Structures are given as structure tokens and as C-alpha cells.
Structure 1
Amino acid sequence: MTQNERERSWLFDFRSSETFVVVTVSIAIFTDAFIYGMIVPIIPVALVKRVGARQEDAQSLVSILLAVYGATLLIGSPLFGYVADQSRLRRLPFVIGLIALAASTALFAFATSFPVFVLARGLQGLSGAAVWVVGLAIVSDSVPPERAGAAMGYTTIGLTWGFVLGPMMGGYIYEYMGWYGAFVVPTALIVLDVVLRFLMIELPRKSRQAKHESHLHPSHSGNGVSSYDTFNGEGIQSPGHASLCQDHDSEGAPLLLSSRCADGGQKKATILSLLVSPRMPVAMLATFIMATMFVALETTLPLYTMETFNWGSSGAGLVFLAVSLPTFGGVYIGKAIDRMGVRSMGTIGFGMGCLAWVLMRFITSNTPGTIASLVILLLLLGSSIAAIEITAMTEVSQVIGDYEIENPGAFGDKSPIAQGYALFNMSFAGGQLIGPLVAGAIRVHSGWSTMTLVLGVMCAVAAIPFVFFSGPPQKRKQAEVNSSV
């Protein structure tokens, strides 16, 4: 091999590696979340100074902009999911999302009318849909199932720190650098995002799966067939499938297999097929609860700490670092999921959330001990949110993978992983929309103690279907896989 061939091979291997793909998607998620958040503290000022809105109308106009973001996120998620699943490579919709983010940022920078702000916020919602749906699908394609949890852990770091650093840095930069100066950092992040997205090489799903299989089952690399071939989305059937179809009328044949064999094994499933069994709806419920918890905290905690501890806006913002710190352990949470299974880790996550919310209702006095207790409880709540989020993301991937193993060729050559993450994204958006309304209304009418108690009970109730219907513990699942090989 010549020097040029070795260099080309090294660059290709590096740019298509699991590490580079996961880092690229994580930075894309961070960029999108950061730009979303940095706009929040400066939009009310911009509406008054640049648009000419009255001060008393600013709150209602901000609410409209938030609703526009949620609406385009809900609309864009299934759209990008379908397009990504129909494409041989997912890179095109991923780049389209980047274009939407760049256009949104430019419109924000130069907007002088409210309709332009609405258009900018709408494009930002489309960008968020593309980044989450397509980005997580690319990660799922690039990482074998036994490392999916750890990979999803990295993406949560980008999301959480984008949401936390965005508002903090947005207000600070605007105060010292002005309106146009506030967009210097977002522009730099977009440039970095452009470079990484175009450097990333996405292997076709069949090639990527063949690479995984050659590592897991070297003895099968010659014929390209193994008991896991259904994960490649190419409709490859397991070696025993043909004989099972021939004997599908026998007493021992699986009932679901019989229904597939009745039409020659060509019956096509859709993403809606996954909603019939409880696992996907339970994953969606976990995502909704996780988003509701995070946004409810974001909505009520700053004002409550200002009132209770007499803090300013900087102190109220810094306390969110306690919620964000546990995301640095997201990779370890993901590895724990890979070892223990989603059911165990998800149950632990809901348990921590219930405990943190219930105890937080006793944070009512301005003493050093109370402040220290709040920080500890926020660390616990941040751990809960990270555990539930990573568990839900991993479960979506495993639900689709397990369905394809149990129903060979059910989706033909179009595995619906991106549409699965579209459902995840829509559940997250639902929590973003409902969380502030519910938490804010309860706190206004019934107080902080009632609000935290309700959220704690919500976590406890959500844990019940997760315990009974989510993926089996990893040891039992591994035993099932081994017995089928």
C-alpha cells in the first residue's frame, strides 16, 4: 500500500468511525440547544428595542415564539424521520437541518419585525427536529447495540450544556457586546458544525452493519449472514426463517411468524406497528415525563430562588449547574444501561426523580443548610433526568432492533429508526409545551410544595408501566439471544 493510500484509508476510517460520528452529532445537538437557549434572555429586549413592541406585550409575544418553535418541532420531527428512513444515507436531511439553523440565526441577527422573528423561530424548530431525529438515527446506525447506551450518554452532554450555557452566555454577551456581538459565538459554532458535518462519512447502513458483524461474529463474515442480520434494515432473513415458513402450520411455529408466512414473508410493517406493543409507548411516556420535569424546573426554580433566597438573576441561573453536572456522567449511565438493561436503569431514574421532587417541597427557608440541601436535591434530580433521557433514547433503538430480529424483513429495506426518534422528539416537544403550563399554574394557584409533590407523584406513577413493559433486564435478554443463536 502506498503512502497516499494509507493516508486515505486512515482518514476514511477516522471520519467514519463511531467516535467521530458520535462527537459530530453531540456537537450538532449542543450547537442547536445553545442557539435555542441564548436567544431566550435577549428576545424580550429585542422585541421592544428592534420591533417596537410595547413592554406589556413582550410576554405574550415571547409565548407566541415559543409556541411556533414547538409547532415546527412537532411537524418537522415525523417529516425528517420519514425522509431520513427513505434515504440511502441520512446525511442530506442532517445538512438541511444545518441550513435551517444557519438561516434562523441570520434572521434573528437582522430581524426588525415580529413576522421575521416568527420565521426565525420556526426555522429553529425545524433545525431541532433534524438534529435530534436524524442525528440520533445516525448514531444508532453507527454504534452496535451493545454500546448504544454509552453513545446516547454522550449526546445528553451536548443537549444539557447547550440548554444551560445558552441562556447564561446569551445574556452576558448581549450585555457587553450588544445585539450583533451576541451572534459571534453562535456563528463560530455553526462554522464548526459545518466542518464536522461535511467531514463525517456516513457508511451505508448495510456496510456499517457488515462491519459490526465482522467484529461480533468473524466466522460469519464470509457469507455475511448471522443471527443479527435483521438489524441492517436490508430485509435479510435469518438462516432458519425459510424452514420455519415451510412448517408454519406446525404446532410449535410462532403465531406471528405464521401470519408473515401466509403472505410469503413479504408483509410490510410501519412505524405504527411498534405502537401496538407497549414498549414504544412506554419509551415515549418516559421521554414526555423527562422533558416535563426539566422544563418545569426551568420555569419555576429561578423565580422561586429569587423569592426564597433573595438571589439575583445570576444566582438563579448558576443554581442550574447542579442540574447539569450529572450529565457528565451520562456515558457511565449509558454503560450501566448496556450492562443492566433499560428497565433497571429507567426504574432507578424515576425513583431518584420521585425522591428529589418530594423532598424539594421542604425547601422553604433561607438558611445555609436549606441552600445546601437544594443543591444536593438538584444534583439528584439532574441524575434522574439524565438516566431517564438516556434510557428512553436507548429503548427506542432497542425496540426497533428487537422487532426486526423477531420479524425478519418486516420493514423491507427501510428500517424506521429515524421515525422512531421522531416519536421520541415529538414526546420531548410535548413535555416542553405542557411542562411550563402545568408547573406554572400549580405553583401560582397552590404553591411550591404542591407543585413539587405533584411532580414527585408523576414520577412514581410513570415508573409503574416502565417496570412492567420496558425492555427486559440485560441478563435475561442476553440469555434469550444466546438461546436463539
Structure 2
Amino acid sequence: MGGSDDKQEPWGLRWRSSTYFIVAAMAVALLTDMYLYGFLVPLLPYVLEHRLGLDVSLTQRISTALLSQSALIMVIASPLIGSHADRSGAKRGWLLFGLGGALVSSLIIALASSLFTLFAGRLLQSAASTVIWVVGFATLADNVPADQLGKMYGFVTIAVAIGTSGGPLVAGVLFDFGGYWVAWSSVLFVIVFDVILRCLMLEQPRGQREISRPERDGQDPERDALLPPSTPEQPITGQDRVTEKTGIHFYLCMFGNGRFVGGVVSYFCYAVLTTSFDATLPLHVRDVFGWGSLPTGLLFAAFQGPAIFLGVPVGWLKDRIGTRNPTTIGFALLAPLIWLMAVPGDERFPWASPDGFGAIIYCAAMLSIGVVICLLNGVGMMEATQAVDEIQEKYPGIFGPNGGYSRAISVSSISWTSGMFVGPIIAGYGTETVGFYGINCVLGLGDVRAMFFHRVLELEIIRAPAIDPSEAF
């Protein structure tokens, strides 16, 4: 009897370790992170000018530096966090650690009375954000069946979109109606709700699920969407000779995989494209059409809104047919749409003048980009996950007992963050140098190159003979 009690299952094991609950917990985690990131944006002028007493002329410069700091911290911290998270195995402790950092950093920022304290709080918040993104996506990869990753990433995309748009909106409304501290109270509510979900969540990685579900007739459908059928019960040669890849050898092994490289390049180009709009769109529509903040906000809604409705269906499609064709089609369609968006207002195209059909063409192009870009959502994370699965399927144990999801996803996170950092710089400087039409042509050309990388490198892993990572390096 005593032994039976010792082995009693935790309360609510079935639903607490279910795929949908884990996805919901991770979606709320990423929503919280994006909420905290965007929450500060409408409050920054008040914080800098009234609470810190800085000159108004410094607001734009300091705001840009404060927001850009996050990208730099994520690039530095991502590989370190990914490496340690893979070694530790269970991810829930890391997620709670990240949440604690988010809470402490939010308090520091809210109470900041000097510029140094404000930057220190933002630095800690960026580090906590890196933990949430890297470990959160690794948790999804480790707990979600491989043939459902696309659909589940679709749910996460919806949460990220809500957090991105909801943070500035809630902060602005609460600040206007209730004041500074009422606005910050919403941060506490979001974090407490996130704490509850993370404490309830129980991880049950794929291997444990396979052991606990013998009724699947000895098949592993979680691998069907990743690899083509192979000879049944094919023995793994050299299994005993496989040595664990750690440190730089892990990354060299991953960058020898065409799928992984294609995903990293695609994710970087995707980030450059999406963030370039932040630097150019508001000023362009003001100069060409005379539009103010409300029409500009509606344009961004048209750009981000389709992901809320199409994220899950597109993810389901990727689970059925893979990521290569949707991503290739997405980049191929984006190139002409980006060019079309730059046509209105350019005097070389009188048929698209602002007084004629220019506004209609511009809005239609923006909405179409928002729809097409759904094909690219999560491409870096999915390709990283599938590349790790492919290598570990052939060479079990090569990435250690806890796998390599966190380290692989940290590289994807770096590519995305680097694109977010570079995108506004390229777009802003390029618009001043060659004009809006010229820089859009450059961005369209970049989409074509991204399509080439993703298509060719994906084909390379299918056609080229596999290199045994156990003998490399």
C-alpha cells in the first residue's frame, strides 16, 4: 500500500500534461512577454520627461536606444540560455525564472527615478524575455507531437499578435483614464495569471508520451510529417560510435543541415521585412496621402490582423505538406506585393497617383502582404525543431539526453532578433538614400534570395547524402 501511494500520479496529470494545456501555457507566456515589451512604448514620453525630468529633445533618441537594447541583449544571451536549458532537462524551472525576472524588471522600470535605473530594468527585462522565448519554444518542441507543431505554432502566433497590439493599447487607455500606477497594475495581473499556468503545467516530453501510449501499434506518427518512409526496422549504424556534440561542435553540426540553414536565413529576411514597415510606413503615408495616426494604425491592423485568423489553418497546412512549399510561395508572392506597395505616389506611375487609385492600391497591397506573410510565421522555429529531429532520428544521443531544441531555437531567435535590429536601419537609411520605391525594390529582391535559400537548401537535405555527424569535426 505504501509503495502504491508513493507512485500515485500528480493531481490532474492528464489535463495538466496535455498538449493543448502546454500550448496554452506557452502561448500565454509569449503573450505576456510581448505585452510587457509593448506596454512601455506609450508611457515612455511621460517617464522620460515627467518622472525623470529629461529635456523633450532627448525623448526620441533615448526611446530608440532603450527599445534597441532588447535586440542586443537577446543576441548575446540566446546561445547561453539555450545551452544551459538543454543541459538542465526540465524547462518549467527556467520558465518560472524568466517570469520572476520579468516581474522584478517591471517593478524596477515602474519605480525608476534615474536613467541608469531605467536602462538596468530594461536590460533585466530583455534577459527574462530571452529566457521566455528560447525555453518557451523549446518546451513546445519537446512536448508537442511533431505532426502538430505547425498548428500549435499557429495558436502561439495568435497570442503573440494579441500581446503585441494589446500592450500599447491597454497601457494608453489605462494611463489616460486612471493614471500611471493604474496602468502598471495590468502588468501585475498578467504576470500573476502567467504564474498560475506555469505552476500547473506538467511536462511530458515525446519519449514519455510514446511509452505511455502503447496502443499505437508500434508506429510513431509524430515522425511521419518529418521524414520520408524508410526501410522498416532499419538498424542504426554506428550508434555506439556517436559522441555527444557540445559547445561549438553542436552549432557546426546544425549548420551542416540544409533545412536548418534555410530556416535561419528565411527567418532573418522575414524579420527585416516586417520591421522595415515600422520605420517607413508612417512617414510615407503622411507624405503621400496626408494620413494621420488613425489611418496608419488601421494599416498596421491590416498587416497584423490576418495572422489572428489564418495562423492556425496555415499551421495545419504546414503539418500536412511541410514548411518548404508554403515558405517558398510566401516569399515569391511578397516580392511583387512589396513592389506594388511602393508604386502609389511615385511619379513614374501616374495610374497610381494619390488622387486616383493610389490609396486603394496601397491598402490592397498592405492587406495582401498581411495575408501572404502568414505563410512565413514560425518558419525559423519549425525548421530548427525538425532539423534537430532529423539528426537525432539518425544518430540517437548525439545532442545529449535532453536533446538540442533550446540551442537550435536560440540560433533562430538570434536570426529573428538580428533582422528586427537591421530592418529599421536598412529601411530608414535606404529611404533617405534611394527613396521609398528604391528601398522596396531592394526588399523585394531580398525576398527572392530568401526563397532561393529556403528552396535550394531544403532540397539539398533531401537529395544530398547524409554526413555522419558522429565522424565530423
Deviations, residues 424-469 of structure 1 (Å, cap 9, x unaligned): 1111110111111110111122221112211111111111011111
Deviations 1:57-77 (A, max 9, x none): 222212221232112211221
C-alpha distance in structure 2 between counterparts of 1:385 and 1:181, whole Å: 36
TM superposition shift of 1:473: 11
What one-letter code is carried by the residue in structure 2 that aligns with 1:40? Answer: V
Query: Distance between the aligned counterparts of 2:432 and 2:100, measured in 1?
Result: 40
Distance (Å, rounded) in 2 between the aligned partners of 1:312 and 1:283: 37
> Aligned partners of 1:35 and 1:134: how far apart in 2?
18
Q: In the TM superposition, what whole-angstrom CA distance separates every residue of 1:322-356 from its partner, at most 9, and x where no partner exists?
A: 11122121111111111121110110111222122
What code does the residue aligned with 1:451 have?
Answer: I
Q: 1:332 aligns with which of 309, 313, 334?
A: 313
* Aligned AA (1:12): L
Q: Secondary structure at the match of 1:470?
A: helix
Counterpart of 1:356, as a letter, is L
Name the residue aligned to 1:208.
209
Percent identity (aligned): 28
Aligned with 2:444 (options 456, 463, 475): 456
Q: Which of residues 362, 367, 375 is equivalent to 2:343?
A: 362
1:265 aligns with 2:245: no
Question: Matches of residues 281-292 of structure 1 in structure 2 within 5 Å?
Answer: 281-292=261-272
Code of the residue aligned with 1:49 in structure 2: it is H
User: What is the TM-score of this pair, normalised by structure 2?
Assistant: 0.86
Deviation of 1:209 (Å): 4.3
Partner of 1:176: 177
In the alignment, structure 2 segments of 5+ residues that lack a partner are: 1-7, 227-231, 346-352, 464-473
Other structure's SS at 1:320 match: helix
Cα contact 1:160–1:327 (8 A) shared by 2:
yes
| Residue 18 of structure 1, CA deviation | 0.5
- Name which of 305, 312, 333 aligns with 2:292: 312
> d(CA) in 1 for partners of 2:154 and 2:124?
27
Q: Write the deviation string for residues 127-185 of structure 1: whole angstroms up to 9, x where unpaired.
A: 22111111111111111111111111111112223222323333333233322222122
Retained in 1: the 8 A contact 2:397–2:403?
no
Equivalent residue number for residue 273 of structure 2: 293
Residue 392 of structure 2 is aligned to residue 401 of structure 1: no
**One-letter amino acid of the structure 2 residue matched with residue 180 of structure 1:** W
Alpha-carbon distance in 1 for matches of 2:106, 2:400: 39
Cα distance in 2 between the residues matched to 1:40 and 1:471: 42
- Does 1:276 find its partner at 2:256? yes
Task: Name the aligned partner's letter for residue 395 of structure 2.
Answer: N
CA distance in 2, matches of 1:276, 1:427: 17
User: Which string of whole-angstrom CA distances, capped at 9 and with x for unpartnered residues, describes residues 18-44 of structure 1?
Assistant: 011111111111111122112123213
Look up the SS of the partner of 1:42 in the other structure.
Answer: helix
Letter in 2 for 1:363: P
Pairing of 1:41-440 with structure 2 (within 5 A): 41-204=42-205, 206-211=207-212, 214=214, 217-219=216-218, 240-241=234-235, 245=237, 260=238, 264-270=240-246, 271-272=250-251, 273-328=253-308, 329-364=310-345, 365-367=353-355, 369-440=357-428
**C-alpha separation between the residues in 2 aligned to 1:412 and 1:370?**
57
CA contact (8 A) 1:275 1:281 kept: yes
- One-letter identity of the residue aligned with 1:349: G
> Deviations along 1:274-304, whole A, 9 cap, x unmatched?
1123321221111111111111112221222
Amino acid at match of 1:265: R
TM-superposition CA deviations, 1:193-215 (whole Å, max 9, x none): 1111111111255313434x636
User: Does structure 1 retain, via aligned residues, the 8 Å contact 2:155–2:311?
Assistant: yes
Q: CA RMSD in A?
A: 2.8
Q: CA deviation at 1:227?
A: 11
User: Which secondary structure state, in structure 2, belongs to the residue aligned with residue 410 of structure 1?
Assistant: coil
Q: Residue type matched to 2:243 in 1? A: K
Q: What CA distance in whole angstroms lies between the structure 1 residues aligned with 2:58 and 2:197?
A: 41
| Contact 1:326-1:386 at 8 Å conserved across structures | yes
1:327·1:383 contact (CA, 8 Å) conserved in 2? yes
> Is residue 330–residue 390 contact of structure 1 (8 Å, CA) maintained in 2?
no
Task: Provide the C-alpha distance between the structure 2 equivalents of 1:433 and 1:186, rounded to a whole number of angstroms.
Answer: 26
Structure 1 residues 169, 214: closer, same or farther in 2, change over 3 A?
A: same
Aligned length: 439
Moved more, 264-273 or 459-468: 264-273
User: d(CA) in 1 for partners of 2:43 and 2:333?
Assistant: 34
> How many Å apart are 1:414 and its aligned residue?
2.7
Any conservation in 1 of the 2:265–2:453 contact (CA below 8 Å)?
no
CA deviations on 1:94-115 (whole Å, 9 max, x unpaired) are 1111111111211221111111
Q: Assess if the C-alpha contact under 8 Å between 2:258 and 2:460 holds in 1.
A: no
CA distance in 1, matches of 2:223, 2:451: 31
Q: 1:214 is aligned with what amino acid?
A: P
| Aligned partner letter, 2:453 | P
Distance 1:179 1:191, change over 3 A: same
| Residues 69/9 of structure 1: CA separation in 2 closer, same or farther (3 Å cut) | closer
- 1:384-433 Cα distance to aligned partner (Å, 9 max, x none): 33321323221111111011112233223131001111011111110111
Give the letter for the 2:34 counterpart.
A
- TM-score normalised by structure 1 residue count: 0.84
CA 1:8 to 1:357, structure 2 compared with 1: closer, same or farther past 3 Å? same
CA contact (8 A) 1:355 1:456 kept: yes
Letter in 2 for 1:266: V
Distance in 2 separating the partners of 1:367 and 1:31: 43
Whole-Å Cα distance in 1 between the matches of residues 117 and 459 of structure 2? 45
Supply the distance in 2 between the matched residues of 1:226 and 1:334 (Cα, whole angstroms): 17
Contact 2:384 2:408 in 1 (8 A): yes
Amino acid at match of 2:342: R
- Distance in 2, matches of 1:291 and 1:424, equals 11
Q: 1:331 to 1:204 in 2, by over 3 A?
A: closer
In 1, Cα distance between equivalents of 2:333 and 2:98: 35
Q: Report the Cα distance in structure 2 between the residues aligned to 1:310 and 1:472, rounded to whole angstroms.
A: 49
1:254 is matched with which residue? none
Q: Distance in 2 between matches of 1:402 and 1:309?
A: 50
SS at 2:12 equivalent = helix
- Partner SS state of residue 276, structure 1: coil
